[in-house]
């Protein structure tokens, strides 16, 4: 059983801009997963596994790796639900629609919760896409990564010590 708590984040312009950027990045993760999985299914008549989806996503987005994995998990769960629904309802469709913003799923490893603040971790890699495409490099090379965080005030009235999963909507 899941226990849920919700609270509003106080309006601060820079904080909302950072969260909006993260939501757009999460939407691009979702859109890329949907596009690649659908094209793979059309060409091979077989769905990509969750492990294959997650392995392609490593060091690609400006989000914490656990957040990207959580988006892939949500896609896999969505696809499994539709597969079950299609046994009785042939009009049920697999995910296909392009999203512009997506809820930010946070696993326990991608956030630090204290009594006063909630720190949301995100990654920033040293290369932009044009630099990455023009740089001659060994493809097994790891990218320089900068760990960044967004600090939110903890306004929850309940203790969040045992929080394992959260979403920013």
Please write the tens of the pLDDT for every residue from 4-56: 778 888 888 999 999 999 999 999 999 999 999 999 999 999 999 999 998 88
Residue 128 tokens read as 């932009």
Banded pLDDT at 140 (limits 50, 70, 90): low
Separation of alpha carbons 154 and 169, rounded Å: 16
The stretch 103-129 carries a mean pLDDT of 84
Q: Which residues pair with 116 in a beta bridge?
A: none
Give residue 137's pLDDT: 56
* Per-residue confidence (pLDDT) for residue 71, from 0 to 100: 95
CA distances from 45 to 35, 37, 38, 83 (A): 15, 11, 10, 14
Task: Report pLDDT digits (tens) over 142-163.
Answer: 666 777 899 998 888 888 888 8
Give the per-residue pLDDT at 55.
84
The DSSP output letter for 168 is: E
- For the chain, give the mean pLDDT: 86
145 beta partners: 125
């Amino acid at each position: 059983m899941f226990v849920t708590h919700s609270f509003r984040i106080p309006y601060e312009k820079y904080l909302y801009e950072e969260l909006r950027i993260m939501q757009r990045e999460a939407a691009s993760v979702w859109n890329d997963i949907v596009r690649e999985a659908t094209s793979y299914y059309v060409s091979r008549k077989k769905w990509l596994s969750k492990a294959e989806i997650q392995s392609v996503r490593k060091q690609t987005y400006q989000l914490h790796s656990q957040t990207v994995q959580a988006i892939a998990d949500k896609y896999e769960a969505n696809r499994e639900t539709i597969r079950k629904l299609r046994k009785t309802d042939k009009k049920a469709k697999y995910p296909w629609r392009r999203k512009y913003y997506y809820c930010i799923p946070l696993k326990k490893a991608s956030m630090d919760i204290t009594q006063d603040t909630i720190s949301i971790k995100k990654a920033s890699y040293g290369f932009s896409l044009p630099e990455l495409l023009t740089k001659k490099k060994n493809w097994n090379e790891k990218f320089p990564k900068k760990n960044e965080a967004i600090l939110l005030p903890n306004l929850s009235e309940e203790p969040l010590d045992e929080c394992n999963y959260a979403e920013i909507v």
